[in-house]
Amino acid sequence: MKRVMFVCKKNSARSQMAEGFARTLGAGKIEVTSSGLEASQVRPEAIATMKEVGIDITNQYSKPLSDFKAEDFDVVISLCGCGVNLPSEWVLRDVFEDWQLDDPAEQPEIFPRVRDEVKARVEGLIAKLTEPVEA
């Protein structure tokens, strides 16, 4: 089972939504957590926006990347273009992607659009990570 780390600047919105979708849509297929270059708090708008699609992230909390070891993860996904700020061991995992999604913290009205973009990306990621390998 692939272990996935979603990382963002503050682990307050995009990475939290990605973790929520990945936990729900990838249950039993992937292991997932999220973190930030610095820890903060999960934004109430992220919780509310996820609730609208039936996913409860109220128990998730913001965690600093420094609490984790890169070698414990197979896949690292940056959601904010912060890949350039990550220590190299994080960028050199089996899979590294930088999704560069808009930050809804600056414009709360775009939370639903960003949520839907996160969901589509997470669905694609799960499909890619769980497709059978041809012999």
Whether residue 75 contacts residue 2, with contact meaning beta carbons closer than 8 Å, is answered with yes
- Tell the residue number behind the tokens 């009205």, with chain if given: 109
Q: What is the pLDDT of residues 20-58, one digit of tens each?
A: 999 999 999 999 999 999 999 999 999 999 999 999 999
Residue range 1-19: mean pLDDT, rounded: 96
What span, in angstroms and rounded, lies between the C-alpha atoms of 112 and 79? 16
> Residue 87 maps to which CATH number?
3.40.50.2300
Residue range 100-127: mean pLDDT, rounded: 95
Asked if residue 88 belongs to a domain, the reply is yes
Asked if residue 34 belongs to a domain, the reply is yes
Q: What is the pLDDT of residues 79-105, one digit of tens each?
A: 988 888 899 999 999 999 999 999 998
Q: Is 82 a catalytic residue?
A: no
More confident residue, 2 or 82: 2
Asked if residue 122 belongs to a domain, the reply is yes
Q: Which domain holds residue 45?
A: 2-130
Q: Is 8 a catalytic residue?
A: yes
In this prediction, residue 135 carries a pLDDT of 58
Residue range 12-23: mean pLDDT, rounded: 97
Q: Which of 47, 50, 80, 101 is catalytic?
A: 80
Asked if residue 114 belongs to a domain, the reply is yes
Q: Which of 4, 5, 7, 8 is catalytic?
A: 8
In this prediction, residue 132 carries a pLDDT of 78
Provide the percentage of residues in the chain whose pLDDT is more than 70. 98
Residue range 102-126: mean pLDDT, rounded: 96
Classify burial at 34, counting beta carbons within 10 Å of its beta carbon; exposed 0-12, middle 13-18, buried 19 or more: buried
Asked if residue 35 belongs to a domain, the reply is yes
pLDDT bracket for residue 134 (50, 70, 90):
low
Q: For the chain, state the CA radius of gyration.
A: 14
Total of domains in the chain:
1
Asked if residue 135 belongs to a domain, the reply is no
Asked if residue 29 belongs to a domain, the reply is yes
What span, in angstroms and rounded, lies between the C-alpha atoms of 21 and 25? 6
